[in-house]
Amino acid sequence: MINTVIFDMDGLLIDSEPLWGEAMTEVFATVGVALTPELASHTTGLRTAEVVDYWQNYFKWEGKDNLQVTNEIIDAVIAKIMAKGEAMEGLEYILEYFTQKNFKIGLASSSPLRLIESAVDHMGIRDRFQAISSAEFESHGKPHPAVYLTCAKKLGSSPLDCVAFEDSVTGMTAAKAARMKTVVVPEAHNRENKRYALADVQLGSLLDFNDAILQKLG
């Protein structure tokens, strides 16, 4: 029986994807790389270090090593979240919905832990989660299921009793690989992506989730 919900964070609970885009554009520009939004979309859902490795292999910049670029991006995103990070539509609704259902609630993100903690503190939602897991500490990031499996273990839940909420194809693939029911809330411009057919449910907003959908999943 489904009794646990695990959320992704960036682009699902917090409108941070544009901030990631800004930060990557600014930092990559310091090594002579012009990263367009279209190019950036190729690495959505990956860990920051994996994004940097991907584009280093593509552009072959010099002057800064990958670790320095990675840390500069993370620092820039944290600063932007603290300055202007906003909740996604339905954030409070969905957290309260599952709290009222007495679900165990977790967060499983590709972001590094220090960024996750800054974001949930900024949004005032840290106390909503009984477990927070970062793919930073896994041998593989999403689309590998490791971070979801770790979060479920922390919550004392079987993956088969979990529903995962995601906004990206990479994250959805990770949750399905963990054998969890999966709800996707893609960005508006990406809702027609046929790969989202793998999800159990696709929504336009977190506000669209309700008892009928939960019953369908369960």
Segments of the chain assigned to CATH 1.10.150.240: 17-84
pLDDT for 92: 98
CATH architecture type of domain 4-15+86-217: 3-Layer(aba) Sandwich (3.40)
**Per-run averaged pLDDT (10 residues), the chain, 218 residues:** 97 93 94 88 85 95 95 97 97 98 97 96 97 96 97 98 96 97 90 92 98 96
Q: What is the pLDDT of residue 39?
A: 86
Q: Name the pTM for this structure.
A: 0.92
Let me know if 65 is a catalytic residue.
no
Q: What are residue 150's phi and psi, to 5 degrees? A: -65, -45
Q: Is 10 a catalytic residue?
A: yes
The pLDDT value given to residue 15:
95
pLDDT in the model for residue 188: 77
Q: Where in the chain is the domain with CATH 3.40.50.1000?
A: 4-15+86-217
What is the per-residue pLDDT for 28?
Answer: 95
* Residue 203: alpha-carbon gap to chain centroid: 16
- Whole-number pLDDT of residue 128: 98
The fold of 17-84 is DNA polymerase; domain 1 (1.10.150)
